[in-house]
Structure 1
Amino acid sequence: MAPHATTTTVPDCKNIPHSHRLPVTHREVVRTLGKLSRLSLISLAQQWLMKKNRDFCPPYLLADQDPNDVDVEDQYDPAHSCDELLETYKVLGARKGGKREVLDRILEGDWRTGISMYQLATAEIQHLLDHPTALRWTAKRLAKIPNSRSAVHDMEVTNDSDHLPRFQAQTFMANLARELTPLMKAHYLLMRLKTMPITILRVYIHDSPYSTEQSLATETSSSDGAKAVFFIWPNGSPFVYSSLATHLGQVVGDDGRHLRDIVQQAIPKAFSRPSARYQLASTNFTARSLDALLTYRGPGKSNGAAGGFSIFQDHSFSQNALDFITSQKTDDAEKSGAGGEKAGPGRPKRALDDAEAPEAKRRREVAEGRFGTSAKPNDGQGLDRFEVRIDDPFPPIPNSAARADGDTSDLNAQPANRSRRGRPSLLDRSAAEIEEIQDRADEAWVPDVRVTFQGPHVFAGIRQLVEQGVVDGEKMPGWMTGEAGVTIGAVKNGRIRTKDRVPGV
């Protein structure tokens, strides 16, 4: 007899298609679908059963049943058609129940043969929409690389319509795949959301030379499980948000960050063309809230109009911007004069005194002037972390003679030489900055002082401190109001330092 033919799998140069499936017991499938609510699972199932998605999300129907397994009792009887299954999920959505009921039906019934890569991607995007603060995002600015034949334009302030590259989905995805295919196998899903003015790209990184279903089903024992990277483009904005798809408590290792950096470096190359080259520049801005990202780095918000300048970006008044202060006081006076109650029978001729103390009213007005319409407790635009490094010299000590007699060797020592645990911080001084400080060591002492604000809404908390009188709102520096539009930076002479026309460090 002839020997049995063996199937040999060789490395290829293909991307992972939407239709490739993962087993229902796969770690990524169980973890991703298990994080969704009942309503989200039902909504996803209805989305998968739409006619345009059935090729990527084929359910298990009666026609797929093996005739030899007819006698086997199934907990969920297969449906005759996709339309019948769609009606079943509409009935599930109309009545109350638990999440486990829908999850078991999806994994053990209607999609028992496996969850496709398209289904897994849409499930992760749905979880992102349900929990907008689940991931930490880093904002980058798409900048045009200047050349000798074209004039240099700042993409953040120019009104030229040609400063942004044209975004054509098929061309961009083909260019991105051409850049990444020699380095890794990946699955791509580009989706424009209807609920938010953003376009989201999910890249599932498969660290294997094979793009078959068998290689996808093989689970690795690596603790660094961050295999998906998200990128978001706000509509009409030069910014790009990037984040690793992690779950709560997961520690992202160097391998996951390295793979994210590879994809991040390929994005501007996919936008570039022979006459225009682009790069991703740092903005020193990170946040967990997508609403905060759209507020500080969204459409029309690229000029850093934050803090007290927020009144000019959200059109909170209809008068000329130069006449805002005068016109507002005049309008308030007219309202207080015309809107007051007229004296009559049973009414006092003089208005009752306001319960708010004059000092509290003054502090509230100062806070309104410094923060504008921003930094409200329940505005949904909170930043959870803000850290700065103070580069101003330490105030001179009055008794300079006593200081000269004492041992000051530890004062001039640079804290940058201390060993820090973990990854290096963006606030660490560069070699040039350390050398500059050492050259002026005889004139002034510049210690490494860092201030970190942390909480659900940092600037709303600072605004409340101003209203309560804990912080002097009139003497408070502008960077404490968030007007610099960064979450990390170095302060010198009371202002956030600017490097290459970008505020931060």
Structure 2
Amino acid sequence: MAPQAKLSVPTIGNLPHAHRLPVTHREVVRTFSKLSRQSLLSLAQQWLSRKTRDFCRPYLYADQDPDLGDDDAQFDPAHSYEELQEIYKELGLRKGGRKEVVDRMLEGDWRNGISMYQLATAEIQYLLDHPGALRWNAKRLAKIQHSKTRVKDMEVTNDSEHLPRFQAQTFMANLARELSPLMKGHYLIIRIKTMPLTLLRVYIHDSPYGTESSVATTDTHAPDGAKSVFFVWPDGSPFVYVSVATHMGQVVGEEARHLRDIVLHAIPKAFSRPSSRYELQNTNFTARTLQALLTFRGPGKSNAAAGGWSIFADNSFSQNALDFLTAPRPVETGNGASKEEPSSENKAGKGHPKRILVQGETPEVKRRKEIAEGRFGTSAKENDGQGIERFEVRIDDPFPAIFNNGVRQEDAALAQPSKRGRKGRPSLLDRSLEEIAESQRDDTWAPDVRVTFQGSHVFAGIRQLVEQGVIDGEKMPGWMTGEAAVTVGAVKHGRIRTKGSVPGV
């Protein structure tokens, strides 16, 4: 009698750590091809440790099938875990390329497949090796209250009633319960040792089946139904960082965004409990580095002290924040050395010699640097790890009325429909119906003027332009110094507008 075929039945369970993907799977090839040699060797030692052996089992000599044989195999299987550990230690001691380690892993020691746990740790390792690989969007986890008492300001105070209690196992169980009826997922939550962060990686499998054969499909023409989304929680902070892109370095389609939004909506529900419901609020801040997110949306004082106000958050003053007598700061010289700035006792004046200028620095250059320091404070320094790559603003100031033959020109411009159409996805800077109605009630017309700053460190670049005299630092508006702590905003009368106490748009 022929054996009965196995049936795949939809389940509500999660994808376990031990589920394997074939070594030819596109996710495995994509991830392993980006890791460095040192990172691969570190992961191999981690997978061979005792606590992860249950779901990172390698191919050993005892797993050989005597009927099939492995005569054509490029790598001979090891006899024990200890032997494998010694092999990878020897690989780490000698020089070589990354391909040597990748071939050893995928074609030798883990030729039977890479487990879901191994793929998750490999993606997290790549994220730690390349902090700017993903774009992050900062959200605020806030308790749903009455609209008049809802807390939306960016400052983090000692009052932590709005913060839910975070217990990893309970949160993971609640999150899986919210997502299991819609999709299958693999979850891994770890603690980042180098920064005060907790990272959650969610592998989304858009299928009702959670079998190993369903996850291991290698059809390159099929839609990419598996996606990885990252969430980061800083310690003692109500903010949550969400990865904007699902694949590191890959183009994200509408289906991927939809799957990510489903997971995003389940996060506050997993924190909620009876009589205590939470929601994720937008904070209009996007960055590529976690260090920048910790600076502008973290647990410290810098959330509400950006730009020139940063001097009040970096302990430059004594205990009294209004004490403006600071210690002498070192002044960089042309050859990279630094010397202490003369104190108030040595300043030019009656009975005191003139202040010695840095070699090659004119009084005008020194004045511009002092203006830049006053406008930016201790922020916007090059290579400070807090760079903002993109800053967009919409100017909402009304167009000045100009009369021509008794008719205001702005009325004629308002009567003519705009011929410029915007294609693609809607932008956060697009005016809402309420804003259009408000402009019509005020009988004013504001042209759709948008300014975009883009670079590796936008505000550091603006600071350098001030120091070089390209931008007038005295007349420059405050939002150009980054003091609003947003990456998308609407400007009116020289200030970033706020909506519901949230700066931005």
Task: Give the letter for the 1:438 counterpart.
Answer: Q
Task: Give the letter for the 1:409 counterpart.
Answer: A
Task: Give the letter for the 2:265 counterpart.
Answer: Q
Tell me, yes or no, if the aligned pair for 2:391 and 2:458 is still in contact at 8 Å.
yes
Aligned-pair RMSD on alpha carbons? Answer: 2.6
* 1:79-98 mapped onto 2 (5 Å cutoff): 79-98=78-97
Q: Find the aligned partners of 1:35 and 1:333 in 2 and give their Cα distance.
A: 47
Gaps of 5+ in 2: 331-339
Name the structure 2 match of 1:455.
Answer: 455
Tell me, yes or no, if the aligned pair for 1:224 and 1:253 is still in contact at 8 Å.
no
* Match 2:412 to one of 390, 409, 414: 409
Name the structure 2 match of 1:468.
Answer: 468
Name the structure 2 match of 1:294.
Answer: 294
Residues 473 and 79 of structure 1, relative CA distance in 2, 3 Å threshold: same
C-alpha deviation, 1:410, in angstroms = 3.1
Q: Find the aligned partners of 1:191 and 1:116 in 2 and give their Cα distance.
A: 17
C-alpha deviation, 1:182, in angstroms = 0.6
Task: Give the letter for the 2:488 counterpart.
Answer: I
Task: Give the letter for the 1:360 counterpart.
Answer: V
C-alpha deviation, 1:420, in angstroms = 1.5
What TM-score does the superposition give when structure 2 sets the normalisation length?
0.91
The yes-or-no answer on 1:378 pairing with 2:379 is: no
SS in 2 for 1:323: coil
Residues 329 and 200 of structure 1, relative CA distance in 2, 3 Å threshold: closer
Q: Find the aligned partners of 1:407 and 1:280 in 2 and give their Cα distance.
A: 40
Name the structure 2 match of 1:247.
Answer: 248
Name the structure 2 match of 1:344.
Answer: none
Q: Find the aligned partners of 1:71 and 1:488 in 2 and give their Cα distance.
A: 59
Gaps of 5+ in 1: 341-348
* Match 1:335 to one of 332, 335, 343: 343
Residues 339 and 427 of structure 1, relative CA distance in 2, 3 Å threshold: closer
C-alpha deviation, 1:123, in angstroms = 0.5
Mean Cα displacement is larger for which, 301-310 or 56-65?
301-310
Aligned residues: 488
Q: Find the aligned partners of 1:374 and 1:455 in 2 and give their Cα distance.
A: 16
Name the structure 1 match of 2:367.
Answer: 362
Tell me, yes or no, if the aligned pair for 1:226 and 1:252 is still in contact at 8 Å.
no
Residues 205 and 351 of structure 1, relative CA distance in 2, 3 Å threshold: closer
Task: Give the letter for the 1:238 counterpart.
Answer: P
C-alpha deviation, 1:429, in angstroms = 0.4
Name the structure 2 match of 1:484.
Answer: 484
Greater share of helix residues, 1 or 2? 1
Q: Find the aligned partners of 2:458 and 2:317 in 1 and give their Cα distance.
A: 26
C-alpha deviation, 1:57, in angstroms = 0.4
C-alpha deviation, 1:274, in angstroms = 1.1
Deviation track 1:262-315 (CA, whole Å, cap 9, x = no partner) reads: 100000010011131110000000111121111111122474211011112222
C-alpha deviation, 1:412, in angstroms = 4.8
Tell me, yes or no, if the aligned pair for 1:307 and 1:374 is still in contact at 8 Å.
yes
Name the structure 1 match of 2:333.
Answer: none
* Match 1:433 to one of 420, 435, 447: 435
The yes-or-no answer on 1:266 pairing with 2:269 is: no
C-alpha deviation, 1:245, in angstroms = 2.7
Mean Cα displacement is larger for which, 159-168 or 478-487?
159-168
Residues 330 and 235 of structure 1, relative CA distance in 2, 3 Å threshold: closer
Name the structure 2 match of 1:230.
Answer: 230
Task: Give the letter for the 1:335 counterpart.
Answer: S
The yes-or-no answer on 1:320 pairing with 2:323 is: no
Tell me, yes or no, if the aligned pair for 1:19 and 1:118 is still in contact at 8 Å.
yes
Q: Find the aligned partners of 2:379 and 2:214 in 1 and give their Cα distance.
A: 50
Deviation track 1:385-428 (CA, whole Å, cap 9, x = no partner) reads: 0000011112344xx2347287953345465x853111000000
What TM-score does the superposition give when structure 1 sets the normalisation length?
0.91
Task: Give the letter for the 1:253 counterpart.
Answer: G
